[in-house]
Structure 1
Amino acid sequence: MDDTGGGNVDTGIHGDELRLWGVLGGDEGRDGVVAGGIELLGDGVGYGEDVGVVVGGGVDVAAGVGGCGGCRSNGVCWVSFLCLLAGCSICWFNTVCFVLCVKNFPSNRALAISLTVSFNGVSAALYALTANAVNSSSSSVYLLLNAVIPLLTSLLTLIPILQQPKLDPLPPDNAVQRDSTVFLLLNVVAALTGFYLLFLTSATKSVTSSRLLLVGALLLLIFPLFVPGIVYAKEQFILVDDDDLEFHKEATRKGGSSASTSTKVDAGKGQLVTLGEEHSAAVLVRRVDFWLYYAAYFCGGTIGLVYSNNLGQIAQSLGQSSNTATLLTLYSSFSFFGRLLSAIPDYARAKFNFARTGWLALALTPTPVTFFILTGSDSTLALKTGTALIGLSSGFIFAAAVSITSDLFGPSSVGVNHNILITNIPIGSLVYGLLAAVVYDVNSDTTRKISMVTDTLICMGRQCYYWTFVSWGCLSVVGFVTSVLLFLRTRHAYERFERHRLSSQFD
């Protein structure tokens, strides 16, 4: 579901060729669109993303609404309404996947979430390959696939969602061990699928080769359905330290009465004492930890997303339009592997334990460094390296954030709480995109370059994005600082959880 649901990367990667706003709205030549920061082409479905917060509805309802929303939004000519519906659809798809992961894999939820979010990162390449296999000369095929496939996928996934047996809140140890093995194998398959879709298929142009590669891609996507059966038949080794199961059992017991239970915090400092305590939305927005977390995401992962939406125009302003496809592939590829790498804390915890909020701070480090490098160099090497680093950083943050939300504010409320958190994405897309647009327009008036394609003013030179990079770099430093503060405030709760895990193991 997450793979076919798509996301910001879906429209962002191929937006330069499709010109979504221009194709459907006829406004491709408008100066505001060329400015790029707040154009719906760049933000694509991301402009309306996360507006549709699912509160109180079941995952079956959300899945069905998500599929219908995606279908409807790609068939309407009202472009703003189209993007709003598409954004709601993506939010509903993601919410379904997150809730299913948390409920079905309480001890391995981080592994499950990183896996589903990783597949979400290759959806653009999958749609592009499918469109080339059907009709490579028509961009409307790409839009049609974005409308039809999510609807069909959501209808198919409704069957197992509605028919799944009652969940065991306290899964046996052998079930957790099997799940650990399954997730390791699935991560290997995901890595192979990512290499296949992001590198091998990008080199093909002919319809025949696209069809052959599409068959291979479909086999790779179908293969994970058989992995659980293979592992359940083997019943072999353990690859993740699963002694934290007792903690999750305890958290699950408390989950049912979370509405009447107060969150355990340090009365003197307002810091969390225990991980996994449930937070209602009203309690959530009163927590200092939440706003530190919000600021870290807003000034970290969201900036990386806006950077990717403006990549085509950044490359054009630096005279590197010929490298646009390469840059977009770099961002998409490293974002995909960054999402996969978000599972490292869970695989490495047996030998090296570090708070998940600390990993978040480390993941934010490359972003400010990259922007300050780009302010000092406009070379092809600097742009490619910076794009790869930002993709890796933002991909890790996107995947790890759901698990952090579950750790800090409770697994049962993650569907609502995480959607509250990621309201920063549309806000950040608007604010950062507007900043980039203003800087770009001011400098385009200075350079007075005319596009041969759109007959509009364009900006050429380092100055087009210089102050944008400076601003984004300073803001990402703020994000890094707030993530460090969040780590310092929550590390004691993670250490207490680790001591509990070790004592349970000893017993």
Structure 2
Amino acid sequence: MAGQSRKWMILVATIWIQAFTGTNFDFSTYSSNLKSVLGISQVQLNYLAVASDLGKVFGWSSGLALLYFPLWTVLFAAAIMGFVGYGVQWLVITNVISLPYILVFLCCLLAGLSICWFNTVCFVLCIRNFPANRSLALSLTVSFNGVSAALYTLAYNAINPVSTELYLLLNALVPLFVSFAALIPILRQPPLEPLPPDGVRRDSLMFLLLNILAVLNGVYLLLFRSKTSDVTSARLLFGGSILLLILPLCLPGLVYARNWYLHNIHSSFRLEGSGFILVDVDELEMHKGMVTREASLEGYQLLNDDVVRAVNTPDQKSFIEDDDGCCCTKVITRNQLGMLGEEHPLSLLLCRSDFWLYYIAYFCGGTIGLVYSNNLGQIAQSLGQSSETTTLVTLYSSFSFFGRLLSATPDYIRAKVYFARTGWLAVALLPTTIALFLLASSGSLAALQAGTALIGLSSGFIFAAAVSITSELFGPNSVGVNHNILITNIPIGSLVYGFLAALVYESHSVAGSKAESVICMGRDCYLQTFLWWGCLSVIGLASSVVLFLRTRRAYQRFEQDRITSSMLYS
């Protein structure tokens, strides 16, 4: 009984870690101040944002560290890297010390690397403790990474709402304190025990309750995102957000109390009937078996060989017969994936056209959203909305949080509405395209807020869904390497898109207070950038649609296998 409650304690600790370590999302709140203190150009400021994203290229180092060191050591190594990276930047921006540009660049790189190490720790904790529901655990915890900027904004308003360098101090200290708070649950991890079908179903219900609490968190942060001049009110609002994060701690106690009740009281009675069932028990049994390497490969191959041939519908047969058609059909059907979950080593991955379609969709979708958030401070300043920067950052963060939560929707509604996850990816890219052309067409505050919300929603969904898509398309056992290859598009996109935006910005700029610092005011500062980004997002949308058309047959076969297996086991 205690082991089950400790498992949920670990999940709550993982939520805390994720909620306070998405520190790269508040870069735009202090970027203008940092640019002024360093006396650098917009292009040089963009390189600092790239440095933070460049840490993802070295994310593999955290996995290497886990091979030789315990999990808690990697956690505190991440906290120390963030403490040094952000702490030194805080000393620079407050004029305590003066450093050359290259050292500030390295500090940004170190801070970005710390985020990757934190994420790795959280992924490992979820996979170890929730093997049968790891997708639900990952989607839930990753969602809270998107809410970090909103939480830091509430803390900023509650402490000193006139000093933007406070963000850097909070980025340095808070993850370190949270790491200490999460240490005890991590050190007391329960032994891994297989769950019975009713246990898996009960865990799924717990995840549903946690998602409801997560939605309440997001709604709270969204409703109270506006900056208030009353420090007392700001502190109450911040206290409320912390209370909502502490609330999931009730779950371990409820689990322990429920187990005690069932063991000591309920066993004396015989009660028939079941409660709420999120996912069918047979489906969960099959899913639990597919989590292991042998069942994932052998069981699925068996179904493909022996079952699928017997359950093909006439519609599918006609679809197969029509493959030899026009050029577009050949592009879609050529070298298609035969099944989901097939392992792809690096050499095979790079030869897959599906991978490059996926890469382009991510590069021209989610990465644009991330670069937009990095430039949000300058975008608001150029439109004369500098006072709204923190509100816009909170808005982006909140909707990114909702987007990440929505990425779990396909897992909850699959029994009633089944749609390939790559299709959901295409749908998620659409708001970014709409938002960018909206921003290009209007410079009003309403358009800025609407565009920021749409981009946050879209990029949040993509970031959270990417791990599951990579695992499904290119194999669960290779997901660590393959996903790290995929996200190399983030630093590349950050460099390319940010450099493009900086060039357009500086072409319309005037000299600032320092010789090398320039400031741009007016819609022209980012008009061409929004148009370019919008056109590129159309390319990403088109790539995602082609990817969906190429992979939908594999998803259909997987769903047929799931239904057939349920019928066989029932």
When normalised by structure 2's length, the TM-score is 0.77
Q: How far apart, in 2, do the equivalents of 1:277 and 1:246 lie?
A: 20
Q: Do the aligned partners of residues 202 and 241 (structure 1) sit closer, same or farther apart at CA in structure 2, a change above 3 Å counting?
A: farther
Displacement of 1:83 in angstroms is 0.6
Displacement of 1:88 in angstroms is 0.6
Displacement of 1:4 in angstroms is 1.6
Equivalent pair of 2:147/2:400 in contact (CA under 8 Å): no
Amino acid paired to 1:238: I
* 1:62-73 correspondence runs (5 A): 62-73=74-85
Displacement of 1:297 in angstroms is 0.7
Equivalent pair of 1:11/1:44 in contact (CA under 8 Å): no
Q: Do the aligned partners of residues 383 and 128 (structure 1) sit closer, same or farther apart at CA in structure 2, a change above 3 Å counting?
A: closer
Match of 1:289 in 2: 354
Displacement of 1:241 in angstroms is 4.4
Q: How far apart, in 1, do the equivalents of 2:281 and 2:436 lie?
A: 39
Which sections of structure 2, spanning at least 5 residues, go unmatched?
1-16, 89-98, 260-274, 306-332
Matched, 1:404 2:469: yes
Displacement of 1:323 in angstroms is 4.0
Q: Do the aligned partners of residues 151 and 137 (structure 1) sit closer, same or farther apart at CA in structure 2, a change above 3 Å counting?
A: same
* Further displaced range: 57-66 or 85-94: 57-66
* 1:419-434 correspondence runs (5 A): 419-434=484-499
Deviation string, structure 1 residues 8-48 (Cα, Å, up to 9, x no partner): 31333x2257x3455xxx41x32336x86x153x6683354
Equivalent pair of 1:357/1:487 in contact (CA under 8 Å): yes
Amino acid paired to 2:403: G
Matched, 1:15 2:26: no
Matched, 1:112 2:137: yes
Q: Do the aligned partners of residues 331 and 74 (structure 1) sit closer, same or farther apart at CA in structure 2, a change above 3 Å counting?
A: closer
Matched, 1:333 2:398: yes
Q: How far apart, in 2, do the equivalents of 1:437 and 1:200 lie?
A: 32
Match of 1:30 among 3, 27, 40: 40
Deviation string, structure 1 residues 440-470 (Cα, Å, up to 9, x no partner): 22233xxxx4557999543333332222222
Match of 2:428 among 352, 363, 368: 363
Displacement of 1:426 in angstroms is 1.1
Match of 1:152 among 177, 196, 217: 177
Amino acid paired to 1:55: G
Q: Do the aligned partners of residues 458 and 71 (structure 1) sit closer, same or farther apart at CA in structure 2, a change above 3 Å counting?
A: closer
Match of 1:302 in 2: 367
Matched, 1:55 2:63: yes
Matched, 1:273 2:273: no
Amino acid paired to 1:9: F
Amino acid paired to 1:15: Y
* Further displaced range: 273-282 or 113-122: 273-282
Displacement of 1:370 in angstroms is 2.4
Match of 2:200 among 176, 181, 184: 176
Q: How far apart, in 1, do the equivalents of 2:512 and 2:121 lie?
A: 43
Amino acid paired to 2:203: D
Structure 2 counterpart SS, 1:55? helix
Displacement of 1:298 in angstroms is 0.7
Displacement of 1:67 in angstroms is 1.6
Q: How far apart, in 2, do the equivalents of 1:201 and 1:314 lie?
A: 19
Amino acid paired to 2:497: Y
Displacement of 1:296 in angstroms is 1.0
Amino acid paired to 2:143: S
Deviation string, structure 1 residues 302-353 (Cα, Å, up to 9, x no partner): 0011112212222333344454344333322211211111111111111100
Q: How far apart, in 1, do the equivalents of 2:446 and 2:156 lie?
A: 31
Displacement of 1:158 in angstroms is 4.2
Q: How far apart, in 2, do the equivalents of 1:94 and 1:213 lie?
A: 27
Match of 2:116 among 91, 96, 112: 91
Amino acid paired to 1:172: P
Deviation string, structure 1 residues 61-85 (Cα, Å, up to 9, x no partner): 5323212211221233531111111
Match of 2:382 among 314, 317, 322: 317
Q: How far apart, in 2, do the equivalents of 1:287 and 1:103 lie?
A: 30
Q: Do the aligned partners of residues 257 and 385 (structure 1) sit closer, same or farther apart at CA in structure 2, a change above 3 Å counting?
A: closer
Match of 2:151 among 85, 110, 126: 126
Equivalent pair of 1:358/1:484 in contact (CA under 8 Å): yes
Displacement of 1:137 in angstroms is 5.3
Equivalent pair of 1:101/1:112 in contact (CA under 8 Å): yes
Q: How far apart, in 2, do the equivalents of 1:299 and 1:412 lie?
A: 27
Match of 1:353 in 2: 418
Amino acid paired to 2:457: L
Structure 2 counterpart SS, 1:383? helix
Amino acid paired to 1:226: C
Deviation string, structure 1 residues 283-313 (Cα, Å, up to 9, x no partner): 4333332222111111100001111221222
Pair member with larger Rg? 2
Q: How far apart, in 2, do the equivalents of 1:255 and 1:70 lie?
A: 39
Match of 2:224 in 1: 200
Equivalent pair of 1:177/1:237 in contact (CA under 8 Å): no
Amino acid paired to 1:461: G
Q: How far apart, in 2, do the equivalents of 1:156 and 1:327 lie?
A: 30
Equivalent pair of 1:117/1:399 in contact (CA under 8 Å): yes
Q: How far apart, in 1, do the equivalents of 2:520 and 2:174 lie?
A: 38
RMSD (Å), alpha carbons: 3.2
Displacement of 1:479 in angstroms is 0.9
Equivalent pair of 2:363/2:493 in contact (CA under 8 Å): yes
Match of 1:6 among 7, 22, 26: 22
Match of 1:252 in 2: 291
Match of 1:81 among 106, 112, 131: 106
Match of 1:187 in 2: 211
Q: How far apart, in 1, do the equivalents of 2:160 and 2:392 lie?
A: 25
Q: Do the aligned partners of residues 373 and 204 (structure 1) sit closer, same or farther apart at CA in structure 2, a change above 3 Å counting?
A: closer
Q: How far apart, in 2, do the equivalents of 1:253 and 1:156 lie?
A: 32
Q: How far apart, in 2, do the equivalents of 1:490 and 1:149 lie?
A: 42
Equivalent pair of 1:11/1:45 in contact (CA under 8 Å): no
Q: Do the aligned partners of residues 269 and 98 (structure 1) sit closer, same or farther apart at CA in structure 2, a change above 3 Å counting?
A: farther
Deviation string, structure 1 residues 236-291 (Cα, Å, up to 9, x no partner): 52224464434433433326998xx99x99xx944333323343444433333222
Structure 2 counterpart SS, 1:110? helix
Structure 2 counterpart SS, 1:223? helix
Displacement of 1:89 in angstroms is 0.5
Percent identity of equivalent pairs: 59
Amino acid paired to 2:433: P
Equivalent pair of 1:4/1:149 in contact (CA under 8 Å): yes
Q: Do the aligned partners of residues 198 and 381 (structure 1) sit closer, same or farther apart at CA in structure 2, a change above 3 Å counting?
A: closer
Match of 2:268 in 1: none
Structure 1 counterpart SS, 2:287? helix
Matched, 1:487 2:557: no
Q: Do the aligned partners of residues 223 and 452 (structure 1) sit closer, same or farther apart at CA in structure 2, a change above 3 Å counting?
A: same
Equivalent pair of 1:101/1:109 in contact (CA under 8 Å): yes
Q: How far apart, in 2, do the equivalents of 1:244 and 1:282 lie?
A: 33
Equivalent pair of 2:40/2:516 in contact (CA under 8 Å): no
Q: How far apart, in 2, do the equivalents of 1:490 and 1:440 lie?
A: 40
Deviation string, structure 1 residues 215-245 (Cα, Å, up to 9, x no partner): 3222211111222542575585222446443
Provide the aligned length of Structure 1 versus Structure 2: 489
Displacement of 1:393 in angstroms is 0.7
Match of 2:251 among 219, 227, 241: 227
Equivalent pair of 2:358/2:547 in contact (CA under 8 Å): yes
Q: Do the aligned partners of residues 459 and 204 (structure 1) sit closer, same or farther apart at CA in structure 2, a change above 3 Å counting?
A: closer
Q: How far apart, in 2, do the equivalents of 1:441 and 1:246 lie?
A: 58
Q: How far apart, in 2, do the equivalents of 1:229 and 1:238 lie?
A: 22
Amino acid paired to 2:243: L
Q: How far apart, in 2, do the equivalents of 1:125 and 1:318 lie?
A: 22
* Further displaced range: 78-87 or 454-463: 454-463
Q: How far apart, in 1, do the equivalents of 2:286 and 2:119 lie?
A: 26
Equivalent pair of 1:4/1:150 in contact (CA under 8 Å): yes
Q: Do the aligned partners of residues 106 and 294 (structure 1) sit closer, same or farther apart at CA in structure 2, a change above 3 Å counting?
A: farther
Match of 1:502 in 2: 563
